[in-house]
Amino acid sequence: MPAGRARRAASAGLLLCSLAGCAGGAAGADDGRLDVLVTSYPLQYVAEQVGGDDVVVTNLTPPGGDSHRLEPAPHEVAALSGADVVVHQSGGMQPAVDDVVAQEEPEHLVDAAPLADRGADPHFWLDPLRLAEFGRTVAGQLAAVDPDHGADYRARADRLDVTLRSIDGEYAEALAACRGATLLASHEAFGYLAERYGLRQMGVAGLDPYVEPPPSRLRKVADEVADSGARTIFFEATAGSAVAEVLAADLGLGTDVLHPVERVAAGETYPDLMADNLAALRRGLTCG
C-alpha cells in the first residue's frame, strides 16, 4: 500500500473517530474467543492448531503476501495493540512489524525469535521439532490469557506435536541414507532442515527459475557446485524449461522445488508442503 494512502487514512481517522473499542478490528471480540494476531504463515499454522475454536486467528500477511516487506497499515497497527495475543517472530524477518510491535508493546506477545537461533536465518519452522516446541510455547501463553481453556490449548499442542513428530519421523527415515549430502538451494532457507537431517545446505546465488542465466553466472555456479556431489538445484518455484535445459546441458544439474513454507497460497498447508518437500528431496539429493 502506498504510504500516502495510509497517511491519509490515519489523518482522516484522527478527525472522525473516537476511542471507542473498534480498534481491535481484527475480529469480533465479543464472542468470548481470543483474538490472536499472527504476522506470518508458520505462526498462523501453529496458532490455529493450538487455538482451535477458542481463538480467532488473523494473519497480518495476506495469503501469498510477502511477509518480509509487510508494512502494517494503521488499522493493522491498531489490531496489533488490540489483539489479546500477538504471535510474532522478531529479529528482522519483518523489520517494519518489529518496529511496530516494539512500539505498541502488545500485552501478550509470543515471540518465536528464540527458536531461530541459527544466525540470521529465520526459517526455524522447516525443522518440525522446533515448530512443535513453539506449539507448546503458544499453548502456554494462550492458557495464561484464557485459563478456562488452558487444558484444551495444551491438548491441541500435544496433537500438533504428534503431527509434527510424524513429519519428522518420515524425514528422518527417508533421508537417513542421505546424511552429508549437499542441498543446493537457490534461496538459502533450509538451514534448520539441513541441520536436523544431516544435510549440507549450499546457496547458489544468481539463478532465477524463470530467467535463462548468462554464461558468467553459469560459470560461477559451476565453480561453486564443483565437488559438491549434488545433482539438483532446488528452487522455490518450478524452473522454466529454458532454465532447466541450460542447467542440465551446461552443468549436468537437475532442478526441483523446495517450498520455504513462508508465504503460502490459499489451500496450501504446512503438512502438505512439507510432504512435497520431502518428496523433492528424495528425488533430488544424492543419497548413499
Is residue 31 a contact point for another protein (CB under 8 A)?
no
Q: Going by C-beta distance under 8 Å and a sequence separation of 6 or more, which residues neighbour residue 53?
A: 33
Least distance in angstroms from the C-beta of 168 to another protein: 24
Is residue 200 a contact point for another protein (CB under 8 A)?
no
Binding residue for another protein, selected from 108, 136, 154, 217, defined by CB under 8 A: 217
Whole-number Å distance between alpha carbons of 60 and 154: 25
Q: Is there a contact between 24 and 35 (Cβ–Cβ < 8 Å)?
A: yes
Is residue 77 a contact point for another protein (CB under 8 A)?
yes
Among 53-61, 76-84, 224-232, 252-260, the segment contacting another protein (CB under 8 A): 76-84
Least distance in angstroms from the C-beta of 59 to another protein: 15
Whole-number Å distance between alpha carbons of 218 and 111: 40
Is residue 71 a contact point for another protein (CB under 8 A)?
yes
Binding residue for another protein, selected from 78, 181, 264, 278, defined by CB under 8 A: 78
Question: Residue 7, Cα to own-chain centre: how many angstroms?
Answer: 29
Is residue 113 a contact point for another protein (CB under 8 A)?
no
* The three three-digit cell numbers of residue 159, written as one number: 496433537
Choose between 153 and 235: whose C-beta lies nearer to another protein. Answer: 235
Scanning the structure block, which residue is given the C-alpha cell 517494519?
96
Scanning the structure block, which residue is given the C-alpha cell 516446541?
133
- Residue 135's Cβ-count burial label (10 Å; 0-12, 13-18, 19+) is buried
Is residue 271 a contact point for another protein (CB under 8 A)?
no
Q: Going by C-beta distance under 8 Å and a sequence separation of 6 or more, which residues neighbour residue 195?
A: 118, 127
Is residue 2 a contact point for another protein (CB under 8 A)?
yes
Least distance in angstroms from the C-beta of 247 to another protein: 13
Q: Which residues pair with 38 in a beta bridge?
A: 59, 87
Whole-number Å distance between alpha carbons of 241 and 23: 49
Among 136-144, 146-154, 230-238, 266-274, the segment contacting another protein (CB under 8 A): 230-238
Least distance in angstroms from the C-beta of 7 to another protein: 5
Nearest to 38 by CA among 108, 103, 92, 91: 108
Which conformational region is residue 64 in: left (phi greater than 0), alpha (psi within -120 to 50 degrees), or beta?
left
Choose between 131 and 204: whose C-beta lies nearer to another protein. Answer: 204
Q: Is there a contact between 263 and 41 (Cβ–Cβ < 8 Å)?
A: yes
- Binding to another protein by CB under 8 A, coded x per residue (else -) over 40-69, reads --------------------------x-xx
Choose between 66 and 173: whose C-beta lies nearer to another protein. Answer: 66
The one-character DSSP state at 213 is P
Size of the site for another protein (CB under 8 A): 70
Among 7-15, 35-43, 135-143, 272-280, the segment contacting another protein (CB under 8 A): 7-15
* The three three-digit cell numbers of residue 46, written as one number: 501453529
Using CB under 8 A as the criterion, which residues of the chain lie in contact with another protein when the complex forms? Answer: 1-14, 16-20, 22-25, 66, 68-69, 71-79, 81-82, 92-93, 95-96, 99-100, 103-104, 119-122, 186-188, 203, 205-217, 219, 235-237
